[in-house]
Amino acid sequence: MGRRVCVVITARPSYSRVKSALRAIQKHAGLELELVVAASALLDRYGNAARYIEQDGFEISARVYMVFEGENLVTSAKSAGLGLVELATVFDNLHPDVVVTIADRYETLSTAVAASYMNIPVAHVQGGEVTGSIDEKVRHAVTKLSNLHFVATQKAAERIIRMGEAPNTVFVTGCPSIDLAASILDNPELDFDPFKKYGGVGSLIDLSGGYIVVLQHPVTTEYYESRHQVTETLCAVRDLGLPTLWFWPNVDAGSDGTSKGIRSFRENEEARSIHFFKNMTPEDFLRLIYNSRCIIGNSSVGIRECSFLGVPVVNIGSRQKGRERGQNVVDVKYHRHEISEAIRYQLGNGRYPSDSIYGHGGAGEQIARLLAEVPLEIEKILAY
């Protein structure tokens, strides 16, 4: 029997991001996939990614509810703690040979800490990038707990090595999220009716003349601003009057403020041209993105997948500060006029050429191959 690879999926975007790697691990003869689905990936309020995971033919080894209500600073910390407690039990029952953790969320950190204390090697996907918010602290802390680093860019690799990681543990695989983006390019049309297939709330709007998509998350370190921040975007989008598809935020400190901002806006019936969604299959989501005229908000999708897909992006605020980006991104502050002006600019510009800064496909297979082949060790020491 091959190495047991345990991947912990805790949020809607994380699933999209590693789906190609999951598939490659599942198919690799020398690997056995143990899939743990936890946190907001189990919650209806956040789009219940578990459902799509099972529809995609992955078997779930364990489910762990671990998100505390409150969506504030205290409950984020507590969710991270409870996740750590229970993931330890899960790992104790599944005894994986290596654990894969993704990006920079609190559950990522829980996963890395649990595995580290249990002498299980940790493989980290998407380390070495630079952003704002608490994610920045968490991402690099996870790097220091990890034994293998599967990074998206050359610069990320360099940063990780400068942080003292052994160069032979750092692999520039590209980001597996790009694999999925690449895979839809053969057949990129919007071949489904998002309202029929996914419901959502808000007006049924006509997408035939083009539409924009909003993905805006709260910034934990600007916790008290989240409601104000989303309201600026709502106003900008309302004033433009374009058909708008809006995705609910992740579960994070501040997402309650974001949700309140959205709900209050809707109450006042100012959101006639906006329809709200919680989730889609990763492929449908990417087709929706690809066919949109502009992406607005602060999601890394705008920086990552959209650079490859050439979709114009208006990136708002500090959340992606410092992250490498392509030409497709215009940065603005939390200011409605600045936002709407930037959207107009991007609409005028249209699609950008594809940029492979975050990879060009094949990352998932490379990650699977490396997980099967590289030596798995737990001891490490600062290289200087």
Site for a second copy in 50-69 (CB under 8 A): 62-69
Give the number of residues in contact with a second copy, rule: CB under 8 A. Answer: 78
Q: What's the min distance (Å) between Cβ of 141 and a second copy?
A: 4
Residue in the structure block whose two tokens are 């992955």: 58
Q: Check residue 326 and report its DSSP letter.
A: -
Cα gap 126→383, rounded to integer Å: 21
Q: Which of 24, 84, 99, 152 binds a second copy (CB under 8 A)?
A: 84
Residue type, 249: P
Residue 286 interacting with a second copy (CB under 8 A): no
Candidates 102-110, 172-180, 357-365, 367-375 — which segment interacts with a second copy by CB under 8 A? 102-110
What distances in angstroms separate CA 208 from CA 196, 242, 243, 244, one per listed residue?
15, 11, 9, 12
Name which position in 32, 56, 130, 291 contacts a second copy (CB under 8 A). 130
- Among residues 4, 32, 56, 88, which is the contact residue for a second copy, using CB under 8 A? 88
Region of 258 (left: φ > 0; alpha: ψ -120 to 50; beta: rest) is alpha
Residue number with CB closer to a second copy (221 or 356): 221
For residues 82 and 321, what is the distance between their CA atoms, to the nearest angstrom?
30
The string of DSSP letters for 231-299 reads HHHHHHHHHHT--EEEEPPPSSTTHHHHHHHHHHHHHTT--TTEEEE----HHHHHHHHHT-SEEEES-
| Short-list 208, 212, 207, CA closest to 234 | 212
Residues 348-377 that bind a second copy (CB under 8 A): none
Residues 54, 117, 167, 376: which binds a second copy (CB under 8 A)? Answer: 117
Question: Shortest gap between Cβ of 178 and a second copy (angstroms)?
Answer: 23
Residues forming beta bridges with residue 314, ordered by sequence position:
296, 330
* Listed residue (328, 321, 326) closest to 342, CA to CA: 328
**Residue 328: CB minimum distance to a second copy, A:** 23
The whole-angstrom separation of Cα 235 and Cα 343 is: 13
Among 6, 9, 31, 42, binds a second copy (CB under 8 A): 42
Q: Tell me whether residue 92 or residue 193 sits nearer to a second copy (CB atom).
A: 92
Out of 15, 171, 223, 358, the only residue in the binding site for a second copy (CB under 8 A) is: 223
Return d(Cα 132, Cα 322) in angstroms, integer.
7
Binding residue for a second copy (CB under 8 A) from 119, 168, 187, 208? 119
Does residue 272 touch a second copy according to CB under 8 A? no
Q: Are residues 138 and 170 in contact, defined by beta-carbon separation less than 8 angstroms? A: no
Helix 106-117, helix 133-145: angle, nearest 10: 20
Does residue 221 touch a second copy according to CB under 8 A? yes
Collapsed DSSP state (helix, strand, coil) of residue 209: coil
Find out whether 204 and 195 touch, Cβ atoms under 8 Å. yes
Compute the least distance from the CB of residue 276 to a second copy, in Å: 10
Q: Which two tokens stand for residue 9?
A: 């999926």
Q: Which stretch binds a second copy (CB under 8 A): 178-186, 218-226, 290-298, 351-359?
A: 218-226
With respect to a second copy, which residue has the nearer C-beta, 11 or 295? 11
114 binds a second copy (CB under 8 A): yes
Contacting a second copy (CB under 8 A), which of 54, 92, 193, 206? 92
**Interacting residues with a second copy between 168 and 207 (CB under 8 A):** 201
Should residue 75 be labelled a site residue for a second copy when binding is judged by CB under 8 A?
A: yes
Nearer to a second copy, 66 or 303 (CB): 66
CB 358 to a second copy: min, Å: 18
Select from 18-26, 104-112, 234-242, 358-366 the region that touches a second copy (CB under 8 A).
Answer: 104-112
